[in-house]
């Protein structure tokens, strides 16, 4: 019979890595399955000034690399594979992978979110040709060039500040007359003379012949339409949950986020959710980590109540625990 | 997997008679780096059927821009000096989608 894990964690961002850490430290057998980059969205965030204890050396990739190493140190298995489906009908949950499957007593669904598209004409066609969703990936292409950033939340303002390391000028285009971003970030942006803001304005089209040349703007108060020449367009208009594979298995809200209670329990017994993928009011690294810890502890409680034994880890690894 | 740069791009990619796949990546592009082991595995598997190269855009920025590549990860297939197909962006570039792209150009 193939191995039955205590916890199968879907997604290797801060929520999943924290769940793995807590599960392993409770001597549960845990596996994290990640199809893309470990660290999730945090791996492409340069500044992580709002995560306690990360003031020095705070880059997203470094912090999440350490989170992964820490989970592995305590015995979490980190598996690079894609989850293509589930079978939650039995007491043992089945996670279907591209070429195999994993059996587990509990599942923690922590797939996170991905950047939302703006939805403007030209956006899809010019992706990788000046339209970007990742400042750390693509920022240095725009060295000494002029770019626009669209959005008004933390990501839009924070990433705009980061982009001034490369670009000569960053113009933030925001549909409202004030930012939603944290005040300290806004203050920092306003003091940066490479940043300017166009308020009450939406981008109606991104255009260019094989490469971004400009955007068509519309002021939503006056209705005035203008043409704005630019070399690059960074889109930070929010995120959407990654729940395509969860649909039909656990309850989601109208926007596709997983509905879970304070104990991270979803509509299916033994299946928990953690991090940005969950319905919640604040999506940050710190809340994702908290969710992961809570989910792991409740997975353990669920196993204690519903299964006779907790699978003991390999004896040879025992020495590694403190 | 052949490393191409501003000195050999013309000869190895644009002047090549056969189709060439180029992996545009960057040192600060985490999705690119996460994908790299899979790209190397695919190069081992298909290398004798399709020429595969990688280009570090952090060191060859102008070359990338001249190829109208300003976003990562991006995979481009060239034939007779022309771009014939490309995929771009972290969500669109997966081990599976890169393999599918390779298979499209295998004789």
**B65: closest chain A residue by CA:** A141
Strand B2-4 versus strand B51-56 pairing type: parallel
Instruction: Give B-chain residues touching A232 at CB under 8 angstroms.
Output: 70
Instruction: Count how many residues are written for chain B.
Output: 107
pLDDT class of A299 with cuts at 50, 70, 90: very high
| Per-residue pLDDT tens over the stretch A22-46 | 999 999 999 999 999 999 999 988 8
Phi/psi class of residue A86: alpha, beta or left (left: φ > 0; alpha: ψ in -120 to 50)? Answer: beta
| Per-residue pLDDT tens over the stretch A123-133 | 999 999 999 99
**A38: closest chain B residue by CA:** B34
Are residues A99 and A205 both part of a single domain? no
Q: Which of A167, A175, A229, A173 is nearest to A193 (CA)?
A: A167
Cis check for the bond before B61: say yes or no (omega within 30 of 0): no
* Strand-pair partners of A115: A239
Are residues A93 and A26 both part of a single domain? yes
What CATH number corresponds to the domain at position A41?
3.50.50.60
Q: Along the 107 residues of chain B, how does pLDDT read in single tens digits?
A: 999 999 999 999 999 999 999 999 999 999 999 999 999 999 999 999 999 999 999 999 999 999 999 999 999 999 999 999 999 999 899 999 999 999 999 96
Domains in chain A, number: 2
Q: Which of A235, A268, A302 is the last residue of a domain?
A: A235
Chain A residues bordering chain B (beta-carbon distance below 8 Å):
35-39, 43-44, 61, 82, 98, 114, 127-134, 136-143, 210-212, 232
Are residues A151 and A252 both part of a single domain? no
Active site residues of B: 29, 32
Are residues A230 and A243 both part of a single domain? no
Are residues A224 and A91 both part of a single domain? no
Are residues A11 and A109 both part of a single domain? yes
CB A16 within 8 A of CB A115: no
Q: Which of A178, A200, A235 is the last residue of a domain?
A: A235
Residue-range domains of chain B with CATH: 2-104 (3.40.30.10)
- Give the C-alpha separation, A134 to A139, whole Å: 8
Judged by CB atoms closer than 8 Å, whether chains meet at B72 and A133 is answered as no
| Residue A274 reports pLDDT greater than 80 | yes
Are residues A221 and A121 both part of a single domain? yes
Are residues A122 and A107 both part of a single domain? no
Calculate mean pLDDT across residues A249-258: 97
Instruction: Give B-chain residues touching A137 at CB under 8 angstroms.
Output: 26, 28-32, 71-73, 90
Q: Which of A284, A272, A266 is nearest to A109 (CA)?
A: A272
Instruction: Give A-chain residues touching B57 at CB under 8 angstroms.
Output: 141
Containing structural domain, residue A53: 4-114+239-318
- C-alpha distances (whole Å) from A107 to each of A181, A250, A267 are 34, 11, 12
Looking at this predicted complex, what is its ipTM?
0.91
Phi/psi class of residue A101: alpha, beta or left (left: φ > 0; alpha: ψ in -120 to 50)? Answer: beta
- Give the C-alpha separation, A236 to A253, whole Å: 23
Are residues A225 and A253 both part of a single domain? no
Q: Which of A300, A283, A318, A302 is nearest to A110 (CA)?
A: A283
Q: Which of B50, B49, B23 is nearest to B38 (CA)?
A: B23
Calculate mean pLDDT across residues A187-213: 97
Instruction: Give A-chain residues touching B73 at CB under 8 angstroms.
Output: 137
CB pairs under 8 A between A and B: 87
Q: Which of A190, A217, A235 is the last residue of a domain?
A: A235
């Amino acid at each position: 019979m193939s191995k039955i894990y205590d916890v199968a964690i879907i997604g290797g961002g801060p929520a999943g890595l924290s769940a793995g850490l807590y599960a392993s430290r409770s001597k549960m057998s845990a596996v994290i399955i990640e199809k893309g980059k470990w660290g999730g969205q945090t791996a492409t965030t340069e500044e992580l000034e709002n995560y306690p204890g990360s003031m020095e050396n705070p880059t997203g990739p470094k912090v999440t690399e350490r989170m992964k190493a820490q989970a592995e140190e305590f015995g979490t298995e980190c598996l690079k594979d894609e989850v293509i489906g589930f079978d939650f009908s039995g007491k043992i949950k089945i996670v279907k992978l591209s070429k195999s499957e994993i059996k587990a007593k509990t599942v923690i669904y922590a797939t996170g979110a991905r950047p939302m598209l703006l939805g403007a004409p030209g956006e899809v066609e010019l992706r990788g040709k000046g339209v970007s969703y990742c400042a750390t990936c693509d920022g240095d292409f725009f060295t000494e060039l002029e770019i626009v950033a669209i959005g008004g939340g933390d990501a839009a303002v924070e990433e705009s500040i980061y982009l001034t390391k490369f670009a000569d000028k960053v113009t933030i285009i925001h549909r409202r007359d004030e930012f939603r971003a944290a005040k300290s970030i806004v203050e920092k942006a306003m003091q940066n003379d490479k940043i300017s803001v166009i308020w009450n304005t939406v981008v109606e089209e991104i255009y260019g012949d094989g490469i971004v040349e400009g955007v068509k703007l519309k002021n939503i108060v006056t209705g005035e339409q203008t043409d704005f020449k630019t070399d690059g367009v960074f889109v930070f208009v929010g995120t959407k949950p990654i729940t395509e594979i969860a649909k039909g298995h656990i309850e989601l809200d109208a926007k596709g986020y997983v509905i879970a209670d304070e104990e991270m329990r979803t509509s299916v017994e033994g299946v928990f959710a953690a991090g940005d993928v969950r319905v919640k009011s604040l999506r940050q690294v710190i809340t994702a980590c908290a969710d992961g810890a809570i989910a792991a502890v409740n997975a353990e409680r669920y196993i204690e109540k519903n299964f006779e034994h907790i699978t003991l880890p390999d004896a040879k690894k025992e020495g590694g625990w403190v | 997997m052949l490393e191409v740069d501003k000195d050999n791009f013309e000869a190895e990619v644009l002047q090549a008679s056969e189709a060439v796949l180029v992996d545009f990546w960057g040192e600060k592009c985490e999705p690119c780096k996460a994908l790299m082991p899979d790209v190397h595995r695919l190069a081992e598997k298909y290398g004798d059927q399709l020429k595969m190269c990688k280009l570090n855009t952090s060191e060859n920025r102008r070359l990338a821009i001249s190829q109208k590549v300003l976003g990562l990860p991006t995979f481009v297939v060239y034939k007779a000096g022309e771009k014939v197909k490309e995929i771009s962006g972290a969500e669109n570039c997966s081990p599976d989608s890169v393999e599918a792209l390779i298979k499209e150009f295998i004789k």
